[in-house]
A and B are shown apart, each in its own frame.
Chain A
């Protein structure tokens, strides 16, 4: 490992501490991306080669994240590149989570990649770059670095959302996502500028030190900056009232992409939120925790109520994702104490949502367009495997015991209770029970309604693997959650 951690050109300001291991996942993915593009241009080897390049890139990135995890779990953050990147259990766990999720999403989207013709290479490339950006968001320890990582992640997703331009709703989804996302990025950037004005630094640990040592008598600029940062991150994780883009985008984008979009945006957005709020702004928890609590409550109520009224599976999942953003935010009102609970919910929800959109992608055919609920009537007789997988994911999202969703909800509620947010927990419990209605409706539709069409839905191998893996993870994390919970105690930002 020593030969990789070069530290060159020392000068008055201290060492550069360039450490390639700290950005190894990004480096490996970028090398894979460049190789894929160049070899594709030169020899046109087709989609099999894209799959090999993506598999190698993701395998390398996962391996690098595991190495970081082994070396840094449970320790204080080590900062590299002049404090731009923090390597700790938090960023390593984010990598261990993001890269497999991205690979799973790519596998469910594979029929789409093949149907895209020559443009499929760009699709694979954008998924890989988005995953790298998502991991950078979790690892960034400077607000400027965080912003650039956020843009790398978001801009790839804007393009991915509009990839199937043959469908008008995909075009609409991409444009809406782009315009509102650009606005949210601008708000986030303004927040960074105001926090910089108030504290004199953009370094996350630097802000924490400044706020810990200085007493600001009139913290107006700082508070405005915090508010704008929360709005910007709230948009990314689709928390209400910054969620209006989510339903159209989730419905319009191809199913495989939507799964990735929903899962990775939650992982990266909440990782960034946890690091900014509980590390940089920890001294100001009295200011932001009530705001987070209100946003959580609004998200849970709005998401649950609107999900009940939906007739399209992808749209319903979009509103349910708003509600889940609220549940996850519930953990953050406790500050640093809730980060491990947040991780558990985010990790298990990411697996569930990738699998659920994977089923939607399979049922709606290679173009992976809209998914009206009527298509799912009697699915259990046509394709028992698909029905079983989707049913399990619905139960998990609803929070039925013996699934990961139940443990996740219990974890975030206990975090909020420890922080004395009883009203929020009561509200969330009521909403969780109400939410069972629309999750169980899908199950009833699949198992107790007569099938409309006949003939089973062919399930590609990639989607099959993803569904089996997701089902195993969801049940395992629900029945024996303790190992995962113990590991997550070492995945805290330092």
Chain B
């Protein structure tokens, strides 16, 4: 019962945050809406036993990433209100039509019982502790974990290459 109440409250909060993020005219409100959405999702992680992921969600997404967003917004300037004129005339009707189509798809999908694959045996409790996550990460998922190091090299090299570009720099070194 507690779980149901928690779910309803925070699902509503997550949806409200998501809608605010898209709808708000002031970018700071958008950022706050995103933060609310991320916090609510963190609560879902806790209720599913994934405490470590929940902590990471709060610290990194709701904390560090949001600070970065706010920083960028402040640098660009808060007072720049967004204009809502569309350059593509059919975009809004098309979007509404696609939303209706998507909603119909969700309804159809929700009404029928989809047969899915293996189910977790209900007896085993879910343990989202750091030990459990670390054990998985460095045993089963060792190689993908190591390959993400390549992504970091790409990020560093790419950022240098794109950001250090200057017009006068072109020419033989």
Interface residues of A (CB under 8 A from B): 11, 13, 16, 18, 23, 26, 30, 33-34, 37, 46-47, 81-82, 84-85, 114-120, 122-123, 125-126, 129, 132-133, 136, 142, 144-145, 148-149, 151-152, 155-156, 158-159, 162-163, 165-166, 197-201, 210, 214, 216-221
Residue in B113, B139, B155, B169 whose CB lies within 8 Å of A119: B169
Residue in B144, B157, B164 whose CB lies within 8 Å of A37: B157
Known A30-B150, A145-B143, A218-B115: A116·B158 in contact at CB below 8 Å? no
Are A85's CB and B114's CB within 8 A?
no
B96, CB-defined interface residue at 8 Å: no
B161, CB-defined interface residue at 8 Å: yes
Q: Which residues of A contact B157 (CB under 8 A)?
A: 37, 122, 125-126, 129, 159
B134, CB-defined interface residue at 8 Å: no
Are B116's CB and A198's CB within 8 A?
yes
> 8 A-B contacts, Cβ less than 8 Å apart?
A18-B142, A81-B143, A120-B173, A144-B144, A152-B154, A155-B158, A159-B157, A165-B165
Q: Which residues of A contact B158 (CB under 8 A)?
A: 122, 126, 155-156, 158-159
Known A125-B153, A198-B116: A82·B142 in contact at CB below 8 Å? yes
Are B142's CB and A159's CB within 8 A?
no
Residue in B112, B144, B161, B162 whose CB lies within 8 Å of A218: B112
Residue of A with least CB distance to B147: A148
Are A13's CB and B113's CB within 8 A?
no
Known A85-B143, A123-B161, A159-B158: A132·B173 in contact at CB below 8 Å? no
B141, CB-defined interface residue at 8 Å: yes
B148, CB-defined interface residue at 8 Å: yes
Bound CA span A46–B144, Å: 33
Q: Using a CB-CB cutoff of 8 Å, which residues 126-173 of chain B contact chain A?
A: 139-144, 147-148, 150-151, 153-155, 157-158, 160-162, 164-165, 167, 169-173
Bound CA span A332–B36, Å: 46
Q: Which residues of B contact A136 (CB under 8 A)?
A: 147
Bound CA span A114–B172, Å: 6
Bound CA span A457–B76, Å: 47
Chain B, interface SS category: helix
Residue of A with least CB distance to B149: A30
Are B139's CB and A221's CB within 8 A?
no
What is the distance, in angstroms, from A353's C-beta to the closest C-beta of chain B?
24
Q: Which residues of B contact A82 (CB under 8 A)?
A: 139-143
Are B144's CB and A84's CB within 8 A?
yes
Interface residues of B (CB under 8 A from A): 109, 112-119, 139-144, 147-148, 150-151, 153-155, 157-158, 160-162, 164-165, 167, 169-173
Bound CA span A262–B31, Å: 38
Bound CA span A192–B113, Å: 20
What is the distance, in angstroms, from B129's C-beta to the closest C-beta of chain A?
18
Residue in A145, A214, A218 whose CB lies within 8 Å of B113: A218
Interface centre among B151, B153, B164 (most CB of A within 10 A): B153
Bound CA span A47–B173, Å: 9
Q: Which residues of A contact B112 (CB under 8 A)?
A: 218, 220
Are A201's CB and B151's CB within 8 A?
no
9 smallest CB-CB distances across A and B, nearest first, come from: A200-B118, A200-B117, A159-B158, A122-B161, A81-B143, A199-B117, A84-B143, A117-B173, A122-B157
Residue of B with least CB distance to A224: B109
What is the distance, in angstroms, from A493's C-beta to the closest C-beta of chain B?
18
What is the distance, in angstroms, from B43's C-beta to the closest C-beta of chain A?
21
Bound CA span A24–B113, Å: 46
Interface centre among B113, B118, B147 (most CB of A within 10 A): B147
Q: Which residues of B contact A123 (CB under 8 A)?
A: 161
Are A152's CB and B109's CB within 8 A?
no
Bound CA span A219–B112, Å: 11
Bound CA span A220–B162, Å: 43
Known A16-B142, A123-B161, A129-B154: A217·B169 in contact at CB below 8 Å? no
What is the distance, in angstroms, from A119's C-beta to the closest C-beta of chain B?
5
Are B117's CB and A133's CB within 8 A?
no
Known A23-B143, A156-B158, A216-B115: A115·B150 in contact at CB below 8 Å? no
Bound CA span A464–B147, Å: 35
Interface centre among B144, B150, B151, B160 (most CB of A within 10 A): B150
